[in-house]
Amino acid sequence: MKAHIREFESGAEAAAAAALFILEKTSMAIESSGRASVLLAGGSAPKMINAELLKLREEINVSRIDWYFGDERAVAPESPDSNFLMQWETLLSPLGVETNRIHRIKGELGAVKAAEDYRKLLSERFDGSPVFDLVLLGIGPDGHTASLFPGYPAVLLSDEMVTSTSPAPLNPFVERVSVTLPVINAAKTVMFFTGYDGKKAMIDRLSAQQDIKYPFEMVRPESGLPEWFIYRSPK
Ligand code: 6PG
């Protein structure tokens, strides 16, 4: 799979590089259009990037960036399983992001209604199909990305921007809401941030020329190669 790969020894080094990359891409977007749109990832690895982004807060033009979510669990925003809560606590609140610039997926509505609601939000805010300036993604040990799980119908959707899925095959085993691959692949820049822990088999596929088998391999942005930030050990 073709990709621009950056490998680091530690998570902190990878996160620092990823944070600078995010600053660079959002600054470029603001320079050319006066604003930037970022699609945030869920899970736990983004917390490492967020700690580094907070160190750059003086250089981040917060008032010009809109923050969206690539996927969400069908839970309330107060739930410890909420991707919104993780991003709110570790980035958006400490960065001082105005709530009108945060566009969360309303997991508390249940997956189907939340997907419908987010589809409406995206089409209103992007006047049609979204083109994000920057998409952040992680990968799971099963090769999922966002909430696009191997073998789930959501992976193959080409005519929907946002979809609901049945309960995930890994913790938290709840229904999910996810943007689809066409939305991810339409973005100006797509970046992955992940460690080897539990995901070596997937990461090794990046350098092998195998056929596409997993959802993360279906991320092939029209704009260019996906940008990978990988760390060998979490510390
Ligand atoms: C989610 C995420 C998911 C995540 C991967 C990696 O809702 O769980 O969006 O796609 O990026 O599972 O998770 P970690 O970063 O915690 O390894």
Rounded to two decimals, the pTM is 0.97
**Backbone region of residue 216 per phi and psi (left: phi > 0; alpha: psi in -120 to 50; beta: other values):** alpha
Ligand 1 atom nearest residue 195's Cα: 17
68 vs 31: CA distance, rounded Å: 20
* CA 86 – ligand 1 centroid, Å: 11
Q: Say which residue the tokens 């105005």 belong to.
A: 98
| C-alpha torsion angle, residues 176, 177, 179, 180 (rounded to 10) | 60
Return the pLDDT at 234: 79
Return the pLDDT at 128: 85
Q: Is the pLDDT of residue 186 over 90?
A: yes
Residue minimizing CA distance to atom 13 of ligand 1: 43
- pLDDT confidence bin for 127, thresholds 50/70/90: confident
Residue 215 near ligand 1, beta carbon < 6 Å: no
Task: Give Rg (Cα) of the chain.
Answer: 16
HSE value, Cβ hemisphere, 13 Å, CA-based, for 172: 16
